[in-house]
Amino acid sequence: MTDRSNGAPNVLIIDDEAGILDSLRILLKNEGFTPHVALGGKQGLEQIESLSPDIILSDVRMPTVSGLQVLSAARQRDPDTPVILMTAQATLQSAMQAVNEGAFYYIQKPFRNDELVAILRRAAEHRRLRVENTSLKQEIRRRDKHHGSRPIGNSRNWLDVLRLAETVAPTESTVLIQGESGTGKEVIARYIHELSKRSDGAFLSINCGALPESLLESELFGHVKGSFTGAVKDKSGLFTAAAKGTFFLDEIGETTPATQVKLLRVLQHREVIPVGATEPQPIDTRLLAATNRDLEEEIRRGIFRRDLYYRLNVIAIHLPPLRERPDDIPLLAGAFLERSATTRGETPKHLSSSAQDAMMHYQWPGNVRELENALERAVILTSGEVIELDSLPDRITTPEPVKLVDERPVRNPTLETIERAYIMWVLQSEAGNKTRAAETLGIDPSTLHRKLSRFGAEA
């Protein structure tokens, strides 16, 4: 790469006469440019690749490689690089050919120094504007992408999640997304990817709990031919396939200790060793992970590695369950119904007030995924445009009462039993609102989530 730290435009001068190169190099340096010289077109082509110049100033008539060939190669490499051609034998036809092929300017030798300097300054400004315009277009596309794909929800706790995702997206930090099944962990992972510097790369994901250990390791790290029965050829793993992009490990809490050791190596050394191989392979991918388990509890039980947890938990994002963001239910329902109508080529259906009210009071143990499935069922069962109560599942319209406290007396209760009873009593008094319950208990909401998960009372 060329050094641009001083802000001076880099100019590559190409000519087959050493004397002209020397005089132009001195002139351009005195005028505030950073000149580089190449003796002949062949050397010029090599330096275009190694220097990445801002401007190219080339003679037309040179042996082996002509100025027009230099122009063609430069345009293929970077169309925004201005190329100025010089010649002592200018004709109208040659000038037109040069301009038609993309030359910025065509100047005839001998020329005045101030004339050449003025042309170079215009070329530098042209280059600056083209680069700024390209950057602006990329930023506009990024913002449009951001606006169009922002996960739906206006509740305070959901907006907190989005703000944190937007803050960490431009970084390379590993992110651990925690939340119950169906809360939208992959949606947030994709959102982070879309807002990241890797958004033009691939977003690949795998559910760690969906594959046996041997197959999971092959999918993650790849394998070499003959490493196991059925390995008939070399195969790249998903870490390698996600080069320049993002790799999302869903349900990482389901991995075995052996796989966790290998994942730790990936995070520590940024390299993988395919199954059956001995040489590591470097990777260039950002890792996002998700789990519906309490990994701190898993560590205490010896199921999950503490060192891997700390490597993953650089930035933690906890997704609230749907029952803690009921005001978002009408927004989510509207978006699902709109999408369903588009897929079916129909007019969007909408919820009656009674159906919407029932959905907002339901606890949604399956979270957003359960909401979407319930609406898909309702769309099929509804002949008109309004979804009524009778099109919703019975569990939503006539839910069983939630019993938060076990009233059976316990003889000589343990401290944990007393703690559980008190926490559940506070939850009941706060109508199941975990945020308010955590405030009453004087503990952090994440601590309350962990305790409820340990009690088996998360829902």
454, pLDDT greater than 80? no
The partner residues of 34 in beta bridges, in order of sequence, read 10
Task: List Cα–Cα distances, 104 to 41, 75, 97, in angstroms.
Answer: 18, 11, 12
192 to 74, 244, 321, 369, 370: CA distances (angstroms): 36, 14, 19, 20, 24
SS3 category, 86: strand
Separation between Cα atoms, residue 253 and residue 266, nearest integer Å: 17
Give the mean model confidence (pLDDT) for residues 224-231: 69
**How does residue 2 score in pLDDT terms, banded at 50, 70 and 90?**
very low
Cα atoms found within 13 Å of the Cα of residue 190, Cβ hemisphere only: 12
Residue 289 Rama label (left phi>0; alpha psi -120 to 50; beta): beta
pLDDT number for residue 147: 47
pLDDT at 5: 46
Question: In terms of pTM, does the model score above 0.85?
Answer: no
In sequence order, the 6+-apart residues with CB closer than 8 A to the CB of 163 are none
- pLDDT by residue (tens digit) across 160-199? 999 999 999 999 999 999 999 999 999 999 999 999 999 9
- Say if strands 271-272 and 222-223 run parallel, antiparallel, or are unpaired: unpaired
Query: What is the spatial distance between Cα 192 and Cα 195, in angstroms, rounded to a whole number?
Result: 5
* 253 Cβ contact partners less than 8 Å away, ≥ 6 residues apart: 208, 291, 292, 293, 295, 298, 304
Contact of 307 with 267, CB cutoff 8 Å: no
Question: Which domains are delineated in the chain?
Answer: 10-132 (3.40.50.2300), 150-320 (3.40.50.300), 323-397 (1.10.8.60), 415-455 (1.10.10)
Looking at per-residue confidence, does 280 or 113 come out higher? 113
